[in-house]
Structure 1
Amino acid sequence: MNQNFNSIAIDSTFNSQKSKSISLRNSTTAERVRQLEKLQDWIKSHLEDIRKAIYADFKKPYPEIDASEIFVVTSEIKHAIKNLASWMSPKKVSTPTPMLGSKAHIQYEPKGTTLIIAPWNYPFNLAIGPLVSALAAGCTAIVKPSELTPHTSALIRRMIEEIYEPELVAVVEGEVEVAQYLLSKPFDHIFFTGSPAVGKIIMKAAAENLASVTLELGGKSPAIVDSDVDIQDAASKIVWGKYVNCGQTCIAPDYILVQENIKNELIEAIHSKINEMYDPKIKGIDESKDYARIVNDKHLKRLKHLLDDANRKGAKIAVGGKIIETENYFEPTVMIDLTEEMDVMQEEIFGPILPIITYSSIEEAINYINEKSKPLALYIFSNSKNVSETILTQTSSGGAVVNDCVVHFLQNELPFGGVNNSGIGKAHGHFGFLSFSNEKAILEQRVGLTPSKSLYPPYNFITKKISQALLKWF
């Protein structure tokens, strides 16, 4: 195989981390906290470097970088430092009657050597967030940042090399063939963030070595807007959740299901909020410093295809639609009159196109969602608790938010992740710690007479009565 990367260096790093991971099984809370503090200190002292690197990749505004890239990571670090002693402590479990005389607990041990493959849309957050969980759990990690955001990738490499020895944490940069080579190594756990299509490839590769996986994927996350709603409030939250980072967010509202009687009012409110946020001086959104760009021309062409395909098949642009290819600019866009034959209704959009579909009853909206793959997130805008509860109990999604969107990613006490097509496993806080940990079951038995000895052969009348009693009473 023709390799334009250093496989020998990767092999050496992997082997050194494999050895290091064994000694880390005995690492203390204080030792792990210190590794997290090193990361925290570097980030705090290099804020401007992080901002410049991410901005250079796709002109993300600094306030967005601070909130969605840096704050998310620093809050994750603080949360882990505060709670790590509790997370690492063995957890006693109760003893059922048939096991009288024994005692049991759960011991949390590091899974070992781990691989983190990060995407380009939140290149710092989604590379370093999982690393926090890996270090908290006592694992070694190789981080593979996205080649589509080279400035951020280089910054991550610099950061890791300045903080850690490569036998603990290392960064490997490169394109698809590098990821493929890394996936051939027998890692103990793989954490991947990206599309469902690539997630399937990751899972197949992990199966070759029976490695456990956390797959943070995506899909078409719907937002349901009920007729009993504060339309202005809902519109502002939808606009921010959809168009932050130029729509390149895995949990952005992918499409809206709106009660048919308020469709036009909602579109007007969304249009108004877009202008309030991105064009308050009426100079054109393309002049706004508060609106990011599409990451590269390849993804811009993909989004343009979705728009053109929908237009050819009868959809209409209700808001926006302007594209400046030389700047990778794609205006916040709203589409109506959509059908299922359109590519925009089949693929995860991952950009600033917002389809709006009407429904006449909540049951119709629920059926529409249930006919598709389970989404990573589901958003409900309604003042009716009954409507919200009905939707929550009759649909399945990785997470859900009532009367807001996207913000659940910031709640460290909640598990973040998908279900089936939208992901496997959970991340953030304690749930991220658990993803990188083996929950080892430990039982301590007394010496001498135990209940289980009464079931040893040779089997006789007494053994039979005891086994029948187990079935009947326990």
Structure 2
Amino acid sequence: MLCRGPALLPLSSILQGPSPQGRAWSWPPFEAELTEILLCKNELHATLNNLSQWMKDEPVERNLATRLDSAFIRKDPYGVVLIMGPWCCPINLLLGPLVGAIAAGNCVVIKPSEKAKNVEKLMAEALPSYLDRDCFAVVTAGVQETTRLLENKFDYIFFTGSPSVGRMVMAAAAQHLTPVLLELGGKNPCYVSDTCDLRSVARRVAWGRFFNAGQTCVAPDYVLCTLEMREKLLPALQKVIAEFYGSSPRESPDFGRIVDEKEFQRLRMLLRSGRVAIGGQTDEEDRYIAPTVLVDVQPSDPIMQEIILGPILPIVVVASVDEAIDFINNRERPLAVYVFSSDDKVVAQVLERTSSGGFCGNDTLMHMILTSLPFGGIGCSGLGKYHGKFTFDTFSHQRGCLHRNMGLEALNALRYPPYSQHRMGIVCAASGVKHKGSCALL
């Protein structure tokens, strides 16, 4: 389905539109290359390396009654699927699912986010030069057109975006009983214990929070720690921010900008929560918001009520790991839970006593780079999973198949009327699943 096309412009030309201040970038090239290109290549290469194996019929166990037959799972395509991408990571979160959908044999309608204008144009103009037009179509549309698009019957819908729009997509899909995968993000907590390497924590948390100016769905959304740790962490974060972006992050080529005016205004409103301990500077004309850390944040504050998707990190004080776990569990289940501790028992405790789409101990974002791990939310953070084989499986209907022998009809006579108790015993013995031993968990 692939074909050779013309050479494309560098990624920086696609993702980095000029700003009003004359800057030639809005997303640092290093981050764009890592997130948009490398992760897409990983998905493609993992699929090409393993597709012949993934596609094979999968044999299953048989009972005595079907011992002479063939029982297997066939991986069928759903048909025509719709993939709706977001404005954050607009290439990876569109082409990654596309790879798996086509590999599974589907035809695909892709709908880029209207906020990512350059990517929307790229998909519409360049993809036809690289893919067989019979297997995909690109729809560029605004909100009203997208609403009408969802009125059509698709065989599967893959949506990445906000929970509010996810509910609309799911409601539209329900009209046709269409299965969906929803990637909705969430307020990802990051617990920092009193026993940890402070410098490493500051570097890894700052990198995860301020990557793409915080505009990633898996960024740590807020930090939970004791008051003592907060007082140690603040100067460490201040130092790391200066190391990463210099004394003036606004001048750094490695710090991004907010995607559009609407998002900028939303984030500026969130800055009113709590008290600014680090950063807080903004420039509306340049859509710049400095790497910011907030303290004295209350759980009821606006910044704790919605996904941030910006370079703002609230710190919430808790007394212990138990209180941190209770804080996490009293809220909707997030897309990711992060925990930092030099004590493996603390990491295990947070893992065992919380629920989330994914989990990463002693780092942020890095669980995303493994195609061998499923990626997806749970509850309000999403429905379904993908990456690597999980993407192929998501876009494949698992068709249970049994191919029986036409002969040996005498063996089937026991199941036909007239019935008897004697026949019932033989059929149950041949068709049943036997308990082989005690369960150690019960």
Whether these two folds match at TM > 0.5 is yes
| Pairing partner for 1:303 from 244, 267, 277 | 267
**Structure 1 segments unaligned to the other structure (5+ residues):** 1-33
Structure 1 match to 2:390: 431
Deviation at 1:471?
7.1
| Pairing partner for 2:182 from 215, 240, 264 | 215
1:18-72: CA deviation from partner (whole Å, max 9, x where unpaired): xxxxxxxxxxxxxxxx53xx4xx659x4251x32110117711111111111111
Deviation at 1:320?
0.6
Structure 2 match to 1:6: none
> Structure 2: which amino acid aligns with 1:435?
T
> Structure 2: which amino acid aligns with 1:174?
A
Pick which of 322-331 and 95-104 moved more.
Answer: 95-104
Q: Contact 2:63–2:432 at 8 Å: present in 1 too?
A: no
Higher helix share: 1
> Structure 1: which amino acid aligns with 2:85?
A
Structure 1 match to 2:341: 382
| Pairing partner for 1:160 from 116, 123, 127 | 127
Pick which of 57-66 and 181-190 moved more.
Answer: 57-66
Structure 1 match to 2:145: 178
Deviation at 1:425?
0.8
Distance 2:340 2:241 in 1: 18
Structure 2 match to 1:321: 280
Distance 2:230 2:409 in 1: 73
1:314-354: CA deviation from partner (whole Å, max 9, x where unpaired): x2111110010011001111011111221111111111111
> Structure 2: which amino acid aligns with 1:222?
P
Within 5 Å, which residues of 2 pair with 1:21-170? 34-35=1-2, 38=3, 45-46=7-8, 48=10, 50-56=11-17, 59-170=26-137
Within 5 Å, which residues of 2 pair with 1:191-340? 191-279=158-246, 282=247, 284-308=248-272, 310=273, 315-340=274-299
Pick which of 333-342 and 164-173 moved more.
Answer: 164-173
> Structure 2: which amino acid aligns with 1:285?
P
Deviation at 1:450?
7.1
- The 3-state SS of whatever aligns with 2:285 is helix
Distance 1:371 1:194 in 2: 23
| Pairing partner for 1:454 from 414, 419, 433 | 414
Deviation at 1:137?
0.9
Distance 1:52 1:240 in 2: 24
Distance 1:210 1:219 in 2: 26
Taking only the aligned residue pairs, the percentage that are identical comes to: 37
Distance 1:131 1:402 in 2: 30
Distance 2:312 2:182 in 1: 25
Deviation at 1:179?
1.2
> Structure 2: which amino acid aligns with 1:153?
E
TM-score (norm 2): 0.92
| 1:465 aligned onto 2:432 | no
1:230-258: CA deviation from partner (whole Å, max 9, x where unpaired): 11111101101100111010000000111
Q: Contact 1:415–1:431 at 8 Å: present in 2 too?
A: yes
Alpha carbons of structure 1 residues 463 and 170: separation in structure 2 relative to 1, 3 Å = same
Q: Contact 1:100–1:451 at 8 Å: present in 2 too?
A: no
Q: Say how many residue pairs are matched.
A: 427
Q: What is the RMSD computed on CA atoms of the aligned residues?
A: 1.9
Distance 1:359 1:383 in 2: 18
- The 3-state SS of whatever aligns with 1:56 is coil
Deviation at 1:95?
1.1
Deviation at 1:456?
3.1
Structure 2 match to 1:22: none
Distance 1:243 1:353 in 2: 8
TM-score (norm 1): 0.86
| Pairing partner for 1:357 from 310, 316, 321 | 316
- The 3-state SS of whatever aligns with 2:244 is helix
Q: Contact 2:257–2:289 at 8 Å: present in 1 too?
A: yes
Q: Contact 2:63–2:433 at 8 Å: present in 1 too?
A: no
| Pairing partner for 1:441 from 385, 392, 400 | 400
Distance 1:464 1:159 in 2: 64
Deviation at 1:454?
2.5
- The 3-state SS of whatever aligns with 1:209 is coil
Distance 1:211 1:242 in 2: 35
Deviation at 1:270?
1.1
